[in-house]
Amino acid sequence: MDDFKDSVSKSVSETVNGSHQFTIKGYSLAKGMGPGKCIASDVFTVGGYDWVIYFYPDGKNPEDSAMYVSVFIALASEGTDVRALFELTLVDQSGKGKHKVHSHFDRALESGPYTLKYRGSMWGYKRFFRRTTLETSDYIKDDCLIMNCTVGVVRTRLEGPKQCSISVPPSEMGQNLKALLESEVGCDIIFQFFGLVGDPNMDKVVVEDFEPSIFKAMLLFIYTDKLPDVQEITGSSSMCMSTNMVQHLLAAADLYNLDRLKVLCEAKLCEELNADTVATTLALAEQHHCAQLKAICLKFAATPANLGAVMQSEGFRHLEECCPSLLSELLKTFASGDESLSQLSGRKRSGSSVYGIDLAAEGPVAESVNPNGRRVRRR
């Protein structure tokens, strides 16, 4: 049998969480709006999507005869099949801490997170609280009630595969130091400046292209022929901090023609690639002519499991502004991968629609409805 190398990849699913507090003052004046009429919170953003809370003082269903208040959380921005966990908390204003909490975060969901199919889809409770009980409880104080809402948007990313790596050439430092010793040159390093640099008699040159920490890292490489320890220089173990510094170090290596340092930085950025950093690394690879790194970034970003999270990142908005030509290359990479999958499957995919479910008993229901009560059916 021929020798072969094992490959490894890992799919990681996690939630991006955010909370919003919605206060309703003048609760008694909101009553009588009629079933299906709601009060909306301000729009808030979690996980790259906009959300809004709808409170129905007279309930959402006419058949409940205004016996219950209803509360729903709705997707307020464009999106398809957005998967999320939710938590609704009605705050106990007596100070006793006996809040009314409905949460998905502290219990396993039999069918997994809820899926909101499109803008206007909502999840919540038609019978959130019996109105007569609410109005005599500690949840209302001075004609005011407070609700906290937490949304956890599910993100899935792909880590690896390991075959996406960049080979680093062997060090030539030992041979170079030996040649330096044999040449009997009186100094071990010379900076050559081309062009006008100001007064030829000055003994100091101010380097304005990079932060001192980046220039220090570059000098450490020149003396050791190794990629410097980022944590040692920055004093931080943050992956984001590490990636940011290596990106700037790559730019310095390109400016000062330190080819080995440039390749070391490419390899490090390849190892630390994720959905939040791939867009800025792709732009950097394009700017500094890093062909291998660019190809790996395109492949990573165009993977269906990663593309959605990449497009929601801050770096992607930067990519749209500074390197719009890369978007077409990303699209071509995605299309080539999608075409390969289609050829493997040999058949067309079919779609399905999810309809709102009307539960008679109190409980959560994911619906696609107009906030004022009109049901919407997707085909």
What's phi and psi for 374, nearest 5 deg? -85, 125
Give the range among 187-196, 250-259, 274-283, 301-310 with minimum mean pLDDT.
Answer: 187-196
In the chain, domain spans: 11-157, 207-336
DSSP states along 320-351: HHH-THHHHHHHHHHHHHHHHHHHHH-S----
Task: Give the pair of three-digit tokens for residue 370.
Answer: 């107009």
Long-range contacts of 184-189 (CB under 8 A, 24+ apart): 189/222, 189/223
pLDDT of residue 160: 64
Range of lowest pLDDT (48-57, 193-202, 354-363): 354-363
For residue 193, what are the contacts with CB-CB under 8 A and spacing of at least 6? 205
**Interval 163-192 mean pLDDT:** 68
Weakest-pLDDT range from 6-10, 23-27, 105-109, 292-296: 105-109
pLDDT reported for residue 365: 44
Give the CB-side neighbour count of residue 153, counting CA atoms within 13 A.
22
The correct answer on CATH 2.70.70.10 for the domain covering 11-157 is no
- pLDDT interval class at 359 (50, 70, 90): very low
pLDDT value for 366: 43
pLDDT digit string, tens, across residues 96-148: 999 999 888 876 567 778 899 999 999 999 999 999 999 999 999 999 999 99
Closest CA to 247 of 290, 206, 300: 290
For the domain made up of 207-336, the CATH class stated in words is: alpha beta
DSSP alpha helices (H): ranges in the chain?
27-30, 131-135, 173-183, 212-224, 230-234, 239-255, 259-271, 278-287, 291-302, 304-311, 314-322, 325-345
What are the C-alpha distances in Å from 21 to residues 141, 299, 328, 364? 16, 40, 41, 20
Strand 144-159 relative to strand 121-130: parallel, antiparallel, unpaired? unpaired
